[in-house]
Amino acid sequence: MALFDTTIDARSGHARALTYETAHGSFQTPMFMPVGTSATVKGITPDQLHALGAQVVLANTYHLSMRPGAKLVAEAGGIHKFMNYSGPMLTDSGGFQVFSLADTVKLDDDGLTFRSIYDGAKIRWTPEENMHIQELIGADIAMQLDQCAPYPATKQFVARAVDLSANWAKRCLDAHKRPDQTLFGIVQGGMHLDLRLESIARLRAIEDESVNAGGRRFGGFGIGGYSVGEDHEVMFETLGEVARALPEDRPRYLMGVGNPTTLVRAVGEGVDMFDCVLPTRTARMGTAFSSTGRMNLRNAKYAHDFTPLDHECTCSTCQNFTRAYLRHLVKQNEMLGAILLSVHNLHFLIDLMRRAREAVLNDSYDQFLQNWMASEAAQDY
């Protein structure tokens, strides 16, 4: 397979199983990507990531560009060498963090001006500068700079974000040159199907123009602007049509979603990739995913419970430690508690997507979805 080629291994209803080729090996979908914000999935070593079956690890351009700086990452030989992770990696553009973290962000047609949360330094990002930073960091997949509209927002505001994001998509695609890295375009449009379809039409026109001029095409497509505070049912009113309006022959990545039931349903609508800080962030707060729903390890009922965290789980935490011990670690704020729960929670989502892929390969995804929706876990997510 050539670099950034997609093979459709199987389909089951709208669900797909893909294999995608990168310079750091191939990955298979459906799949969940652990988030390594500052070039580390908090508390988890690269060996553990491999053992968990993580296929792509995400890193944040906003944070890395400020600490330690994209040039330092490049000096180390790129993000893979810097953090010693040998598998495929993806960087977001950091645009989402600019809007969510900065007190004052100035948006104009040409880019973003904001202050660093680290030292207050004034920073200017144009689409071209953002591509340059992501090329320095050197993940396998870069994301275009875009504007994610908040929810709720007026339709006029969302339409303007679609227009701006499309203009920046073109500038990112024109500026992006690194041959061992691909660029994903991002669909915006909030909860408005017509704006979503317009966003997709713009992206397709941009890449047609680029390809006709001898340039590159997008390696895949992010679906942004969901999971921004709306009810999940609101997202599912449009998600399926949006996913299936994207080109068949490339991955569709629903950004920032980590709820297990949402993942299973979104795969059924034709989505292939997911990322979220949820499994590791909730682990650090003492909460575990499980086959029976959420478990808060601070709960007194686990104090004398010497059984595994989740009887159905095959992760190393569940094979080796009891609920009583994990509760003790969480209560004492021991770092091992956060680590062991992070291992378990990441395993939960990675394994859920591995089983989803199996169901697609067996052409039984509908059954898999029905079984999940009838499960005890689905009642709690």
Rounded to whole angstroms, the Cα distance separating 126 from 134 reads 12
Residue 148 or 353 having the CB closest to Zn ion: 353
Residue 29 or 317 having the CB closest to Zn ion: 317
Q: Does 92 qualify as catalytic in the annotation?
A: yes
Catalytic hit among 140, 146, 272, 275: 275
Positions that interact with Zn ion (CB under 5 A): 313, 315, 317-318, 344
Residue 195 or 318 having the CB closest to Zn ion: 318
Catalytic hit among 92, 140, 146, 310: 92
Q: Closest separation between CB of residue 260 and Zn ion, Å? A: 14
Q: Closest separation between CB of residue 297 and Zn ion, Å? A: 12
Provide the Cα torsion 356, 362, 364, 365; round to 10°: 30
Q: Closest separation between CB of residue 350 and Zn ion, Å? A: 11
Rounded to whole angstroms, the Cα distance separating 8 from 6 reads 6
Residue 19 or 292 having the CB closest to Zn ion: 292
Q: Closest separation between CB of residue 23 and Zn ion, Å? A: 32
Q: Closest separation between CB of residue 321 and Zn ion, Å? A: 9
Rounded to whole angstroms, the Cα distance separating 301 from 319 reads 21
Q: Closest separation between CB of residue 312 and Zn ion, Å? A: 9
Residue 146 or 310 having the CB closest to Zn ion: 310
Q: Does 366 qualify as catalytic in the annotation?
A: no
Q: Catalytic residues, which ones?
A: 92, 275
